[in-house]
């Protein structure tokens, strides 16, 4: 609970600071239209079926969108999922000895790494609700994304000395899963008048309606075709590079 409160305070502090700057400013600039190129990072806490397989993870991604003078946004983006906390206790159980090590072809015990890897690609639409008196571009951002997500367990055999973990056979262990997802985001979007600081920060929730895609899992000796509900609760921060246009003869690169 203390960690959650601390995270919320970290998110709210810059939002309040910049929001006050908007609310108590004097001259208001109208909302601008144009392209926005963004990069973002997420810290995700899993729930649902995702929490049974993986622990907390990270996302790094990029997006491009178009913003209208009414502060509507339409765009597309991609995120890459990274994690190292695997909860599948049965993973490689048929290849391990009593010590938990995998026996290589030459009889030596080797350590095999396992990592969470995946990606999410989708299209999004949303709106910035302007609350300030200084800049029409800034405000509370609501964004909905729909698309396709995929994740699996990446098994890393550093020595490449175990035939059972060759590229072909890894498919019988990696728990490849994919399907559609929907994500809801709420945060604060800020665009500086001088173009030096442009960012967003907030919270999101993602629900993936996925399914296992492997015909057979060697370690548990069964198919992997069950439907899943994969959920993320995330904290997101992103940096914008806006290319705004005020008039036909005047373009601002910020």
Domain assignments of the chain as residue spans, ordered by start: 2-253
Local structure of 225: helix, strand or coil: coil
Once rounded to an integer, what is the mean pLDDT over residues 177-189? 98
Q: Which residue is associated with the tokens 């951002």?
A: 141
Once rounded to an integer, what is the mean pLDDT over residues 153-157? 90
Q: Tell me the β-bridge partners of 96.
A: 102
CA distance 63 to 219: 38
CB 60 within 8 A of CB 79: yes
Question: What pLDDT, on the 0 to 100 scale, is given for residue 61?
Answer: 97
Q: Which residue is associated with the tokens 């206790």?
A: 89
Mean of the per-residue pLDDT values of the chain: 86
Q: Between 2.40.160.20, 1.10.3720.10, 3.50.50.60, 3.40.1710.10, what CATH number should domain 2-253 receive?
A: 2.40.160.20
CA distance 106 to 126: 57
The pTM of the full predicted model, rounded to 2 decimals, is 0.83
pLDDT band at 202 (very low <50, low <70, confident <90, very high): very high
52-65 tens-digit pLDDT? 999 999 999 999 99
Instruction: DSSP letter for 137, please.
Output: T
CA distance 22 to 24: 6
């Amino acid at each position: 609970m203390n960690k959650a409160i601390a995270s919320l305070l970290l998110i709210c502090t810059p939002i309040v600071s910049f929001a006050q700057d908007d609310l108590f400013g004097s001259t208001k600039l109208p909302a601008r239209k144009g392209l926005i190129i963004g990069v973002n990072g997420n810290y995700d806490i899993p729930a649902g079926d995702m929490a049974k397989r993986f622990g907390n993870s990270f996302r790094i991604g990029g997006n491009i969108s178009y913003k209208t003078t009414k502060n509507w946004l339409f765009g597309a983006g991609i995120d890459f999922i990274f994690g190292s906390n695997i909860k599948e206790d049965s993973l490689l159980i048929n290849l391990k000895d009593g010590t938990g090590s995998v026996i290589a072809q030459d009889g030596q015990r080797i350590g095999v790494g396992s990592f969470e890897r995946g990606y999410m690609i989708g299209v999004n639409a949303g709106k910035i609700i302007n609350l300030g008196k200084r800049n029409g571009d800034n405000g509370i951002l609501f964004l909905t994304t729909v698309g396709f997500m995929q994740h699996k367990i990446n098994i890393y055999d550093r020595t490449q000395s175990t035939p059972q973990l060759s590229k072909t056979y890894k498919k019988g262990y990696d728990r490849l899963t994919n399907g559609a997802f929907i994500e809801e985001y709420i945060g604060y979007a800020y665009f500086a008048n001088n173009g030096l600081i442009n960012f967003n920060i907030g919270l999101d929730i993602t629900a993936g309606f996925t399914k296992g895609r492997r015909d057979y899992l060697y370690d548990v000796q069964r198919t992997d075709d069950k439907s899943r509900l994969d959920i993320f609760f995330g904290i997101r921060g992103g940096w914008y590079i806006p290319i705004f246009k005020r008039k036909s003869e005047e373009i601002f690169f910020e």
